[in-house]
């Protein structure tokens, strides 16, 4: 492929923790080791969850760790017109419909959940009925032929028949907010992103984004992905932003150096021995996708 263009895409809903930091380090190393670029996009479309000032704090954490980016940061909240244009294009293709189904109703009609939750049963797909007091969401009308085949650089082949597995998924929520799947796909196309590194919890959502990418821009270049396992907390659960002890800011305040933190992250990626203190620039020559573990675990 051409020179990779990757991205950091943090959500400003709290302080950066070790899990986000490790994925950011992997994304930075993957881009720099292959002579590519990496952009910074603040994914702030879920406005009720946005913490004021968190975007600046995320940038400060990246700087402290030694992770730079190319060009100026962008914010999803400033891209409303692009999301509207994408939705209009999908509407022109006959690929959207309005839906007033609640989550409770969907769960009741599809009680057996897979890893993607209950499949949307198609209630409003062909027989939409407005309901008093309910603002409709907008869903993508999936088709039987929407089968996505994709090879992740670490986890291998992913094959998903989107219509059968997920069904008609949301593009714009009933509260008017843009769904992650649409926003991230539109932004990646606009910014020329062709290489993504992110957490393994998003691996199963990749086919939806590839389907939208194909519908919105059939001539777009292939998108390569590298999913990395999640970081677990001491209790064995996935790290969350409420785990304040794992926040980069908390470690910095406790006197831990950036070299120590980067060394711990690099060790968990299989790049250096535990106890190594190192800067990201020194890791570029050591980056190998094959070293990245497949299983989630603790940062040493």
Give one DSSP letter per residue of 225-245, joined into a string. Answer: EEEEPPBB-TTSSBP-TT-GG
Output the pLDDT for position 116: 61
Question: Domain 80-182 belongs to what topology?
Answer: 3.90.800
Kindly list the domain boundaries of the chain, sorted by start residue.
5-77+188-201+221-291, 80-182
Question: Please, what's the b/e burial string for 162-181 (b: 16 or more CB within 10 A of its CB; e: otherwise)?
Answer: bbebbbbbbbbbbeeebbbb
CB-based contact 14:51 (threshold 8 Å) = yes
Token pair 């304040």 is found at 244
Please measure the distance between the N-terminal and C-terminal CA atoms of the chain and give it in whole angstroms.
35
Name which of 166, 172, 163 is nearest 138 in CA terms.
172
- The answer to whether the CB of 18 falls within 8 A of the CB of 273 is no
Helices and strands of the chain, counted as H and E runs:
10, 10
Fold (topology level) of 5-77+188-201+221-291: Rossmann fold (3.40.50)
pTM: 0.93
Q: What is the pLDDT along the chain (300 residues), one digit of tens a residue?
A: 579 999 999 999 999 999 999 999 999 999 999 999 999 999 999 999 999 999 999 999 999 999 999 999 999 999 999 999 999 999 999 999 999 988 888 888 765 555 567 888 888 998 877 887 789 999 999 999 999 999 999 999 999 999 999 999 999 999 999 999 999 999 999 999 999 999 999 999 999 999 999 999 999 988 999 999 998 877 777 776 666 658 999 999 999 999 999 999 999 999 999 999 999 999 999 999 999 999 988 787
Three-state DSSP class for residue 5 = strand
* Spatial contact of 119 and 163, defined as CB atoms under 8 Å apart: no
Residue identified by tokens 């999301």 is 83
pLDDT, tens digit (0-9, with 9 covering 90-100), for 99-124: 998 888 888 876 555 556 788 888 89
Predicted confidence (pLDDT) per residue in 188-208, tens digit: 999 999 999 999 999 999 999
């Amino acid at each position: 492929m051409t020179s990779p263009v990757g991205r950091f895409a943090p959500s400003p809903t709290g302080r950066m923790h070790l899990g986000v930091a490790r994925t950011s380090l992997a994304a930075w190393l993957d881009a720099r080791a292959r002579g590519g670029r990496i952009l910074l996009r603040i994914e702030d479309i879920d406005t009720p969850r946005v913490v004021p000032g968190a975007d600046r704090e995320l940038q400060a954490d990246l700087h402290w760790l030694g992770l730079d980016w190319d060009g100026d940061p962008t914010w999803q909240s400033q891209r409303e017109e692009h999301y509207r244009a994408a939705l209009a294009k999908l509407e022109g293709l006959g690929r959207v419909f309005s839906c007033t189904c609640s989550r409770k109703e969907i769960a009741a009609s599809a009680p057996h959940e897979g890893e993607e939750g209950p499949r949307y049963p198609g209630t409003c797909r062909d027989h939409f009925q407005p309901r008093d007091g309910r603002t409709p969401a907008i869903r993508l009308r999936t088709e039987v032929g929407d089968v996505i085949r994709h090879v992740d650089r670490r986890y291998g082949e992913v094959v998903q028949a989107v219509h059968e597995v997920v069904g008609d998924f949301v593009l714009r929520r009933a509260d008017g907010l843009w769904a992650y799947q649409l926003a991230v796909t539109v932004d990646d196309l606009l910014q020329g992103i062709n290489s993504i590194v992110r957490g393994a919890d998003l691996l199963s959502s990749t086919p939806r984004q590839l389907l939208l990418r194909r519908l919105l821009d059939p001539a777009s270049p292939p998108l390569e992905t590298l999913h990395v396992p999640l970081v677990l907390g001491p209790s064995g659960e996935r790290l969350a932003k409420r785990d304040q002890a794992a926040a980069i800011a908390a470690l910095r305040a406790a006197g831990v150096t950036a070299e120590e933190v980067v060394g711990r992250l690099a060790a968990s990626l299989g790049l250096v021995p535990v106890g190594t203190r190192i800067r990201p620039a020194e890791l570029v020559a050591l980056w190998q996708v094959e070293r990245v573990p497949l299983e989630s675990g603790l940062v040493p």
